[in-house]
Every structure is written in structure tokens, then in C-alpha cells.
Chains A and B, each alone.
Chain A
């Protein structure tokens, strides 16, 4: 018994890795379709965008890279789809240096394909990437054209109908930052105080706990925390707009809702390992005290 406990306590971590691999891979191959419950931070984000009027403009900043794309992509796509349905205009930028622009291009192209009525330059625009994240943001607080003189195709902002009346981020109704790392936080701590524009963040699950402090202080309007937040948003979107189901039922496309199956099973596996480790630890300690 003692030897067994010792072996369990010193379990080769590769066994844990194997279980983690299976717990994530199997539900992706064979989806379970588990339900998703919504949280207040996501509902606040959803309700805020729902309350915007057709013709209002929001800014969507791609502040993440390919590494966290499975978590962040569904958030960006869900919000862009909501905008497309509600006729809310969206300005897309990318501030993440490695790969942010590519992800922005892919997401914009995907949503533009899904909603053929959307007119580039009128309903949405892609301003592309600019280096220097916080400096760029501060400049946008005063003058968007100072930071992005043209859109990604090289058209001056003054010639884009969507930019009429939008000189700085003060004029947009919302900043939605889809973020990994520090760039998302800068929108909250540097741009929000300067411009007063409300901010919603879609961080990775790892960063989400930090943003509760900003939610409590009112510096954030809402948050889509990690893949769970994205799945909640997808649920709210489907409940409000049944026609959205077509984007979330295809067996080929990855959605956050599908990703949650794997995450659920993995949580279970990790919990079991923690339970196992603690049982062995407590039993071995009892053995030692005897």
C-alpha cells in the first residue's frame, strides 16, 4: 500500500499528459453537445451591444495571435455577426504584432462572406495592423487617421463613408478588444480614461480573473472570459437570433460551444487527478504519523 501511494505521488507526468490528450481529443472528434450556462459578465456585454442602434459604430481590435485563436476567434466572429444582423458598423484593427492581422483578415473575410449585404467601407472597414500598441491607442484617442491614415487597401480614411463623423475613438460607441496578454488591458487603463468610450474585453481564460477587478470598478462594461465566455455569447446570440443557428450547427466549423465539451471533460480529469493526489497525500501522511 505504502509503495502504491509513493508511486502515485510520484506519478510520471506523462501519464497525466496522455489523459489530457484523450480528454480533449475525443470530445472534439465525437461531440457530446453539453449545455452552456451564461454568466453576468457575458450577458452585460451582449446586452450592451444589443442596446446599440443601427448605424452606430464600434471598434473591434484584434489583440491576439494564432496561439489563442481557438479561444478568441469565436468571440470576434460572434460579435461581428451580431453587428451585421443589427446593422451596427464595425471598424477592425489589429495591434498584436505576430499574426493579429492575419486573424483579423480571416475573421473579416469569413463574416463578409456570410453576410453578402455588408458593404466594405460603409458597414465595416479593416484598417489593418499598426506597431506600437499603446502609442497607437493613445493616438487613436485623439485622431484615428493619425494612427491609421488609410485602410488596409490604402484608401484614405476621409474617403470611407463609415469614417464620416468618426475622428477619434471618442466617437465610437464601444471598443471591443479580443485579447491575449497586455494589449487588452491598455484599452481599459489608457484609452477608456482618456476617451471615455466603453470597453468590452474578450480575454483568454488565463487572463480573465484579473479583469473582474475592472468589471467591479466599472472600467469594463462586460467580458467574454475565455472559451466559456465565447460559448456563452454564442448561446445568447442563438437565443436572440434563431437564424444564427446556421453558423453554429455545421459539423465542420469549430465553435466555442463545441470546444466546451473538451474543456468539460478535461476539467473532470484534472479534478480526478487532484482528488487522487490528495487522497494519496493524506493517506501517506497518516501512515507517516502512525
Chain B
């Protein structure tokens, strides 16, 4: 008997609806179509927190209509509008989704708030299956970068393996590195100190790491010759590392007695205060040899020009092109670009390190080839490969 009551009420309402007078004077408002092929899935290749919705716009979508995206969350599944998308987009990313929570999505065509479709009701909604966002194992948009990196690493490792097997590797002469002993020898002869500035960047800068490797070699030479060494620092982490490098070098040469803590000293964190202090030290103490190797900025010319005016032999090295012109103009020798990174291999002549330099050159050759092929293909309008190489 209980189930009959709603049926009777429904019947009554239907009858009332049929009995209501219909307005034949006004045309029925156009019905908006529903989007098609609607799919909601976790956004692939991300760290989670995003759901990707895709659909196809219905044909003959009227002007002034837009797509409304609604979301409902488990367990209540109450629909909330979350955004409006212009027709033609065909996709939407819900970046406010929480990982591990079930959501359902709906899309429907509706008139935009201020247009000619005023009064028209939204079209039927298309709902998705429940979906939840999660983090993924691979970033798809970085596939090209991953393949390139894998090839690069493979080339380097193969070259290192070849070097280990005893294959002779030629490395061209680098004048700036050959001059290191000459500079230290000169300082020893005239009894003045060697100054080594490892740039002004921290240890997260690979140029600083390369510079400290060279510092190790310089410190070994000063330890061997008994020449005084001065390493002023701007960055505290570099300072701590540089001190260990110099200490180890003196220990390795069997001259720990010559190592003094103040050889490697901290000056200040401010770039130009550091510049002023070191320039003043150069002018006062007139070191015989000055090494400016690492990452320098505007202070490069001030330091190098001051060093030049004191008559010191100067060796500079930087991979960033910005300050290179200044070093070239004011220093006796300059390590340009990748020469800085090749320094530790060049100085130590260790086959494994030399192997990596060879691998790097092979990779460069491949890049040049790709660039030439790319330029030719794009010039003759065959295909533009730049989009393949674009990293995200």
C-alpha cells in the first residue's frame, strides 16, 4: 500500500502537466546539445593533485554557449560547478583535486552569463565514472630530455670504459693550465704569495666544483715549493670546502706543517665588499700570481684589472660567457667555457677523467650534426624538428 502513494502523486502531477494550458505564441527555446566522448582520468605524468577531463564539443554548438564543468566528491556526490571553459578547448585540468579521493565530473553546454542565449536552459549533462588522482612514475613531456640524457650518459660511460681499457686519449694543449706551474714557480722565485679566488658562487654551482678541483692542484704545487697561498672566499659553503681541499693537498704532499688555517679565509657575503677587500689585499700584498677561476660577475674586471696593475701573472677561468671578455683583456691566460671543466682531467691525466672529456666531445659532435640537419630540414621546409627538441 505504501508504494502506491508516490505512484498516485506522480500520476496526478503528470495529469496536471498535461492539463496546463500551453503557450503556442512563443517558440520553444532551442535546446543546447550535450558534449560527447567525455572521459575523466588521472593526469598522466604528474606529481598528483590533477585530473584531466577530455571531451568533444557537440556539432553546431551555438555562439555564446560555453562548457560548464561540475564536480562531485565521494561519498555525498553533491554537484558543484568548478569552472567554465570556452568551446573548442576540449580539455580541462582540475588542479584542485586531492590525491586518493573519488570524484565524478560532469560537463554540459550552457549559455554564458551575458549573451544572446539568455533564458535558454543548460543542455543535458554528461557524467564521468568515479576517478581519483595519483602521482605517476614518469613525466611523459620530458621523454625527449630523458632519451637525450640517457644517450649522453651512455656515451660518457662508454668513453670512460674505453679509457680504462688503456686506449690512448689525446687532449689538446690548454695554455692556461700549462701556465699554472710557471705562475707558482715565479711566485716561489720572488718569494711572494699565490692568491686563488674560487669565484663568488656556492657549492651548488658546478663551476665552483671545477674550480676547487683546480685549487687542489694549485695547493699541491704551493705545498711542494713551499710558497704561501691565500684563498679569500665570498661564499661560506665554498669557504668550508676550499679549506678541506687545501688541507688535504698539503697533507697529500707530506707538508701539513706548511698549512695554516688562515690560508683559506672568509671575507664577507657581499659581492662588492668582497671585491673591495680582495682588491685592497692585492694592492697591499702584491701577490706574484693570481688565479681567478670559478663563477664571477661584475667584480671580475675590478679584480682582474687591480691584479694587472700590481704586475701579477694572472690566470682566469669561467664557463659563463658574460665576464670572459674582461678576463681575456686583463689576464695572461684564460680558460674559456668547457676548458674549465676539462681542467681536472687535463692536470691529473687520469684516463677515466680523460675518457669523460672524449665522451663529451662525441656528444658535442652529435649535437652539431643534429643542428645542421635541423637547419637544413627547416630551410627546405621538409620538417621542423625544433618541437621535438623542446624541453618542458
Contact = CB atoms under 8 A, between A and B. Distances in A.
Nearest to B273: A98
B392 A98 contact: no
A33 interface: no
A167 B309 contact: no
A204 interface: yes
A67 B271 contact: yes
Given A13-B309, A182-B295, A194-B392, A207 B322 contact: yes
A180 to B, nearest CB: 7
Contact of A209 (B47, B269, B270, B322): B322
Interface string A165-202: 00100000000000011100000000001101000000
B93 to A, nearest CB: 10
Contacts of B201: 182
A210 B269 contact: no
B206 interface: no
A206 interface: yes
Nearest to A135: B204
Interface string A13-33: 100000000000000000000
B358 to A, nearest CB: 26
Contacts of B272: 67
A97 interface: yes
A180 B297 contact: yes
A182 B318 CA distance: 13
Contact of A193 (B270, B298, B392): B392
A262 interface: no
Contacts of A180: 297-298
B149 interface: no
A65 interface: yes
B391 interface: yes
A102 interface: no
A216 to B, nearest CB: 12
A261 B321 CA distance: 28
B95 interface: yes
Contacts of B269: 97-98
Contacts of A206: 298, 322-323
Interface in B93-107: 95
Contacts of B204: 134
A182 B297 contact: yes
A88 to B, nearest CB: 22
A263 interface: no
Contacts of A13: 309
A210 B392 contact: no
Contact of A181 (B297, B321, B392): B297
Contacts of B297: 180-182
B320 interface: yes
Nearest to A193: B391
B95 A167 contact: yes
A89 to B, nearest CB: 20
Contacts of B391: 193
A204 B392 CA distance: 28
A68 interface: yes
Nearest to A167: B95
Nearest to B204: A134
A245 B254 CA distance: 71
Contacts of B323: 206
Contacts of A181: 297-298
A210 B298 contact: no
Contacts of B322: 206-207, 209-210
Given A97-B269, A98-B271, A207-B322, A67 B392 contact: no
B299 to A, nearest CB: 10
Nearest to B299: A67
B92 to A, nearest CB: 14
Contact of A65 (B271, B309, B392): B271
A13 B204 CA distance: 38
A98 B392 CA distance: 31
Interface string B282-322: 00000000000001011000000000010000000000111
B99 to A, nearest CB: 14
Contacts of A209: 321-322
A68 B392 contact: no
Give the most central of A97, A193, A194: most B CB within 10 Å. Answer: A193
Interface string B320-337: 111100000000000000
Interface in B221-252: none
Contacts of A142: 47
A68 B321 contact: no
Nearest to B272: A67
Given A68-B298, A193-B392, A210 B95 contact: no
A67 B298 contact: yes
A204 B298 contact: yes
A178 B270 CA distance: 19
Interface in B374-392: 391-392
Which 9 A-B pairs give the minimum distances between C-beta atoms? A181-B297, A210-B322, A207-B322, A193-B391, A98-B270, A210-B321, A67-B272, A193-B392, A206-B298
Given A98-B270, A134-B204, A180-B298, 19 more contacts: A67-B272, A67-B298, A68-B298, A98-B271, A142-B47, A167-B95, A180-B297, A181-B297, A182-B297, A182-B320, A193-B391, A194-B392, A204-B298, A206-B298, A206-B322, A206-B323, A209-B322, A210-B321, A210-B322
